[in-house]
Structure 1
Amino acid sequence: MKKISLILFVFMILIGSIIFYSKWNDTTGQPKLPQKNERAKVAKKETVSESIPTIFVHGYSGTKNSFGGMIKRLTKEKVATPSLIATITSDGEITYEGEFNKKEKNPMIQILFADNKSTEENQSWWLQELMQSLKTKYGIEKVNAVGHSMGGVALTNYVTAVGINGAYPEVEKLVLIAAPINGLEIGEDGITDYDLTENGPKMQTERFANFDTLKEKIPSELAVLTIAGDKENGTKSDGSVSVASALSAKFIYQSQVTDYREMVFTGIKASHSLLHENTGVDKAVAEFLWSE
């Protein structure tokens, strides 16, 4: 009798796990990647995406695990290939793990900051140093880039500071995941002084204002996808970054580039630390970067 009960118990756990896994990976009801607008279809040059590596930049307090899961899943789906892991210390020293082969299918490079709780200014400077190193050491002329949270802010700092500068790799496609472009203000009722209007945020943080001043340096051929999360708990946020702050990227990029798109994911899988574990986000990132 005990043996039968044990078998039933194990069976129920197995069934529960299958149901949970299916629900977790179910993307039903989640947004689909918007189509390019007509201007982007006409203006965008044809590129060989498989020769362009993609860098992944974590956010504040991020670690190797921040994008580790997404990189593993994209590898498992055979849409991209893991390549380098690049770590930069607080004094600008860079170490690399792995090998870079531009002939591999969509090589992925993970960027790690040893001091992962430093300032936005430091993270942005380190990213510039690292990008210059990728060009010098590996001959990388162009990259795609994916940034989560403060990583997306650092990448926006990069494209607005560097623009088209031959000393650095040019960013071909950029994905911003839950990037607080206009700060971290969240209202319990979903309303803040930084909410968006048709013309931009009601109020601008110093960060947003700085981007707005420098946005003319953004390369016109850059393609940008902004992803925001809404837990649907009344705050209109992913728990850390408001939808309004993430989507304020529109007012930095849209007027400067021919291809700007945005998506809002909803529900528990759209919480800040789970967006980069969301298979719907995986799908959108892969389609945007490598299927067009």
Structure 2
Amino acid sequence: MTKHMKNEHHNYTLFPFILKTFISIIFCGSLLALFSNNTTTDNKVHFTPVVPTIYIHGYGGVFNSTEHMIQAAEKTGAAKKVLIAHVAADGKVTYSGTWNFTQKNPIIQVLFENNTAEIPEEAKWLNTVVEHLKSAYAISEFNLVSHSMGGPVTLYWALHERTSSSPILKKFVPIAGPFDGVIYIDDSPNTNSLASNGKPKIQDNAYRAYYQYRMRFPSETHILNIYGNLEDGSNSDSLVTNVSAKSLAYLLKSHVASYQELMIKGADAQHSQLHNNAEVNRAVIKFLWNR
């Protein structure tokens, strides 16, 4: 066979391959355009990864503990709940719902069957959910909204369960988080106080442990710390004192990307009402999705 004949044979056999490759390139380009939502003026297309938001309840929490906040977000069109992660008492996680990648701001609602478990245990369960979302949906970042003890659970996760390969906690919104004691257990109204630098005068054992490991918290995180003041003289939401909630600042304010606080005042600032509070909903939605 001559050199010329070899070239002819080579060209004809490559034609179907080249055609298929060309079609594949067009198809992949179309997919990229579908999932990309950000084109800059320099004509470079940037793929923006989907950032889900996880909602977790507090001690004794149930479906409705976070559902009202989720519904408020859905009503604005800012986000949509796609999955419910049911965590059994043995830590096994099952999911209900459907998440397809066309949903820009998906919400995952986490429900702990054993809703009175200790903080370290729930932090492990939270880690199971986060790692599953990473493996199943390839997430690299996520937001988290917590109520009550869900705040310390998230903090404990970040300090002790998170690894260098974990998805980045982009935004964290603790609502009514007891970071340095709970009324009726190890705190009481108007007993503790904060120094000018934010350091609490009285620190429980858990808080001292948080302080010891505080630098493990991801520095990329933006935090909006929301707490309630009934304005009845207790400087609390009936269960968490303002000092306990605000003590988070001394741990993380100088370490994270940004830190904000929001005090909700009045009767609707009661501990269990904060997750049904319209002012809280507006603040969370604006902070997370700028809506």
1:247 corresponds to: 246
2:206 pairs with 1:207: yes
2:258 pairs with 1:264: no
Shift of 1:76: 1.2
2:196 corresponds to: 198
Higher relative contact order (CA 8 A, sep 6+): 1
- The amino acid of 1:53's aligned partner reads P
Structure 2 CA distance for partners of 1:239 and 1:108, relative to 1, 3 Å = same
Shift of 1:102: 3.7
Partners in 1 of 2:136 and 2:88 — Cα distance? Answer: 17
Check the 8 A contact 1:101/1:107 in 2, yes or no: no
2:181 pairs with 1:183: yes
Report matched runs for 1:1-292 at 5 Å.
51-166=50-165, 168-185=166-183, 190-192=189-191, 194-199=192-197, 200-291=199-290
Check the 8 A contact 1:173/1:222 in 2, yes or no: yes
- The amino acid of 2:257's aligned partner reads T
User: What's the CA shift string for 1:3-54, capped at 9, x where partnerless?
Assistant: xxxxxxxxxxxxxxxxxxxxxxxxxxxxxxxxxxxxxxxxxxxx98882000
Shift of 1:191: 1.3
- The amino acid of 2:118's aligned partner reads T
User: What's the CA shift string for 1:198-235, capped at 9, x where partnerless?
Assistant: 23000111111111111111121110110010011111
- The amino acid of 1:286's aligned partner reads I
Identity of matched residues, %: 36
Counterpart of 2:109 in 1: which secondary structure?
A: strand
Counterpart of 1:82 in 2: which secondary structure?
A: strand
Farther-moved stretch of structure 1 (208-217 vs 124-133): 124-133
Farther-moved stretch of structure 1 (121-130 vs 63-72): 121-130
Shift of 1:106: 1.1
Partners in 1 of 2:110 and 2:125 — Cα distance? Answer: 10
User: What's the CA shift string for 1:164-195, capped at 9, x where partnerless?
Assistant: 521x3221000010000001147999411x32
Check the 8 A contact 1:201/1:248 in 2, yes or no: yes
For structure 2, the 5+ residue unaligned runs are 1-45
1:6 corresponds to: none
Shift of 1:258: 2.6
Relative to the length of structure 1, the TM-score reads 0.79
Check the 8 A contact 1:160/1:218 in 2, yes or no: yes
Structure 2 CA distance for partners of 1:130 and 1:191, relative to 1, 3 Å = same
Check the 8 A contact 1:135/1:169 in 2, yes or no: yes
Structure 2 CA distance for partners of 1:189 and 1:202, relative to 1, 3 Å = closer
Shift of 1:126: 1.2
Shift of 1:78: 1.1
Q: Computing the radius of gyration over CA atoms, which structure comes out larger, 1 or 2?
A: 2
